[in-house]
Each structure stands twice: as structure tokens, then as C-alpha cells.
Amino acid sequence: MKQATKNFLGLKKEFSRIEDSDVIVIPFGLEQAVSYGHGTKNGPKAIIDASQEVELFDDEMKKEIYREVKITTIKEIIPKKKIEDALNQLYQVVKDVYEAEKLPIVFGGEHTLTIGSFRAAKEKFSDLTLLQFDAHADLRDSFEGDKYTHGGAMRRSLELGENFNLVQVGIRNISNEPSEGSEFSFLEKNKKRIKTFWAREMKEWKIEEIVSSCDKNVYLTFDVDAFDSGIMPSTGTPEPGGLSWYDALDIIKEVAKKKKIIGIDFVELSPIKNLSAPDFMVAKLIYKIIGYIFETRRK
């Protein structure tokens, strides 16, 4: 792993040396199997560029998080052309991060990449939950004949083994097309393994129920279209009726407090020219989540 010249948050070398790091940021702009809007390959750069303007003092935690948590950004990895090879490529990088005893955070890129990064997490950790923030269930078996698409990322991830469960938050779009694997029917048949918190029922959600649905170790995959399209237009398949900023923060804060978040990816940001607010929101969200995770670990 080689360190990037431009670090997430613009951190100076003394706070981002790879040998001292607690967190490794992995930019991986995979874009090979999107179904609607394009641009996710530019997501990692947009997040890192926007992060240069994030205020490093956090008013909630009353400190500069980066002084206690060392965050290293490695050079952006250019995904291999064949999707299976690209997923194996990311798997190996995340595996290396785990072997170094650091927290991997992947900046995507399309949601398909979760298959590679989560595979490394599954091999290392037991008592594991895949926690998905998303507008879409991503449980298709295929799309236009392709098994590896962002619309099937969770279905392929579930096939990696039986020793984990899936918790979905914010879902408000699902298919039941037989030619694509009858996504809704698959979900209904697998309710013992998949817990879905539908966006339409958001007013009835109880954060403690979301948290208690998770096992001891949690891999967080955050598709930015989980946010309402009014605040997150910069994604390939935006959906109305989604989460607000504080909806997401409140849930993740409690998960970090009660469970151990062992890996993260942020996916499906498709930057829009001259509209930096969504990019900035994702960058700030990541910084806050890092703070939540290590605030709990170091108490």
C-alpha cells in the first residue's frame, strides 16, 4: 500500500503516517455495472476533494478527532477491467489492512464493490452483521443477465457464507421481476436472515431495535442514496422519502456505541459539476463516524 499525496481531510504527514494509522482510507472508483446514472468512478476523488474543507474540530465530541485517530489515505486503486478481478483486487487490499490491524474504509465506486471488501471482513470476523444503509434492497439475482451488478450486491454478499446476517435501513425501492430473481420474494423467504427497516415506516423505527438486530461485529455499507434525494441528488438512482442527516447519524452513533464497527464502505456517490454540497456531506459523515467508532473504543 502506498500513501496518497492528497490525504482525506487534508491531514499533514505527522497525523497520517501509514505505520501509525488507525484507519486506512481506500479509494476504489469501481464503475462497471451501474444501471442508470453514471459517475461513481469519480466518487473517491470528490469525497477527498470536499474533505479538504471539513472543519476538523467536532462540536459534538468537542475535540479534533484526527489528533486522537490517525487516518491514512492510500493511493487510489484503479479497478481491474473484469468485475471478478476487480472484486478480488479489493478483497486483497482490505485483507492486508485487516492483517495490519487497522480499520478499512473504502471510498467507492458502485455498490458491487461491497462483495470484495465484505468478503475480507467475513473471513476475519465471526458474530458478524452486514449493515446496509440504502434506498434499494440490492437483492436482485441478476440484471440484464449480469450476476455482478450494484442491484445484486447484497445477494452476492449473502452467498459468501451462512455465518452472518443482513440488516437493511432505509429501503424504499425493490423489484419482483422473475427474470431478475424475484427480489421481493427472495427477501420474504429469507426474513430469518434479513431484517429490513422500510423507509415508509421510518416514524415507527426504534433505534434500539436496529442496534439489537446487529451482531457483535458490524460491517457498515453506506449507499449515499439512503439519504433523501432532496439532500442527495448526486447518485445514480436517487429516491425520495429517504433519511435526513441526523437520522443517519443517530443510528450509526448508537451502533458504534453498542457494537464494534469493523469495516466500512461508502458507495454510489456520482458527483455533479458545480454542486459540492453532497460531496461535502459524505466527507463530513465519514469523519463523524470515525469519531463515533474510536470514541467508544478508547473509553
265 marked ligand binding residue:
no
Count other Cβ atoms within 10 Å, centred on residue 201.
11
Model pTM score: 0.96
Confidence class for position 149, pLDDT limits 50, 70, 90: confident
- What does the domain layout of the chain look like in residue ranges? 8-297
Strand order in the sheet with 103-107: 71-73, 23-27, 103-107, 260-267, 217-223, 128-133, 164-171, 194-198
Q: How many angstroms separate the CA atoms of 49 and 72, rounded? A: 15
Is residue 184 a contact partner of residue 198, using CB atoms and an 8 Å limit? no
Q: How many angstroms separate the CA atoms of 13 and 218, rounded? A: 30
**7 Cβ contact list (under 8 Å, min separation 6):** 16, 48, 71, 72, 73
Average pLDDT in the chain: 95
58 marked ligand binding residue:
no
111 marked ligand binding residue:
yes
Q: How many angstroms separate the CA atoms of 198 and 200, rounded? A: 5
134 marked ligand binding residue:
yes
- Work out the average pLDDT over 156-167: 96
Residue among 224, 253, 252 nearest 238 (CA): 224
What pLDDT was estimated at residue 208?
98
Of 27-36, 63-72, 90-99, 206-215, which gets the smallest average pLDDT? Answer: 27-36
> Topology of 8-297 in CATH?
Arginase; Chain A (3.40.800)
Confidence class for position 86, pLDDT limits 50, 70, 90: very high
Please say if the pLDDT value at position 110 is more than 90: yes
Rounded CA Rg of the chain: 18
* Three-class DSSP labels, 201-235: HHHHCCHHHHHHCCCCEEEEEEEHHHECCCCCCCE
279 exposed, middle or buried (CB, 10 Å; 0-12, 13-18, 19+)? buried
Residue among 5, 7, 3 nearest 286 (CA): 7
- Work out the average pLDDT over 124-153: 90
* Three-class DSSP labels, 247-259: HHHHHHHHHHHHC
What pLDDT was estimated at residue 8?
98
225 marked ligand binding residue:
yes
223 marked ligand binding residue:
yes
3-state secondary structure of 241: coil
What pLDDT was estimated at residue 144?
66
